[in-house]
Homo-oligomer: A and B are copies of this chain.
Amino acid sequence: MELTVYLAGQIHDDWRREIKSKADEKQLPLTFVGPQENHARSDDIGENILGEQPGQVARDDAASSINNFRTRVLLNKADAVIAYFGESYKQWNTAMDAGAAVQAGRPLILIRPESLVHPLKELSNQADVTVETIDQAVEVLSYIYE
C-alpha cells in the first residue's frame, strides 16, 4: 500500500532529505511531498512569476499565494502529515499546517525537541503521535507496514 506523506516545517536545513533517505533505507513505499525548500526561491516566487510588486507587502503576498496553492494541492493528496519543529525560526507555517491537517482528518506526527515540550503542549496533544527525532518518526511510518 503506497502512501503519501506531507512534510511540514522550516526550509532552512535538509531535515526532509534525512527522512527520505531513512525511509528509502527501509524500502518503505512512501512518497514525500512538501513546500518549496529553496528559501530564496520560496520568497521570490511571487515576483519570479508575476513580476515586480509595489512594495514588500505585495511582494510577500504574491509569494505566499503561490506557496499556499502548492501546499493545498499537496496536502489534499497526503495520507499523513509530519510537522517538524526545531529551536530556531518562528515556524508559524508549521503550526498552521499542523492545525489544518488535524482539522482535515489527516493523521499527524509531531517531531519536536524536549526543550519545546511546554510551548508545544497543545499542538502535541492534538497530534496523533509526538516524537523527538527523525529516526523515531520514520519508525512510526515503518510500523504501518509491519
Contacts and interface: CB of A to CB of B under 8 A. Distances in A.
B100 A102 contact: yes
B128 A69 contact: yes
Give the dominant DSSP class at A's interface: helix
A7 to B, nearest CB: 14
Nearest to A74: B144
Counting chain A residues whose Cβ lies within 8 A of the other chain, the interface size class is: 35 or more
Interface in A90-107: 90-105, 107
B73 A124 contact: no
Contacts of A121: 60-61, 63-64
A68 interface: yes
Contacts of A126: 68, 96
Which of A33, A72, A85, A102 has the most B CB atoms < 10 Å from its CB?
A72
Interface of A: 1, 3-4, 31, 33, 36, 38, 41, 45, 48-50, 54-58, 60-61, 63-74, 76-77, 79-80, 85, 90-105, 107, 109, 117-126, 128-132, 136, 139-140, 143-144, 146
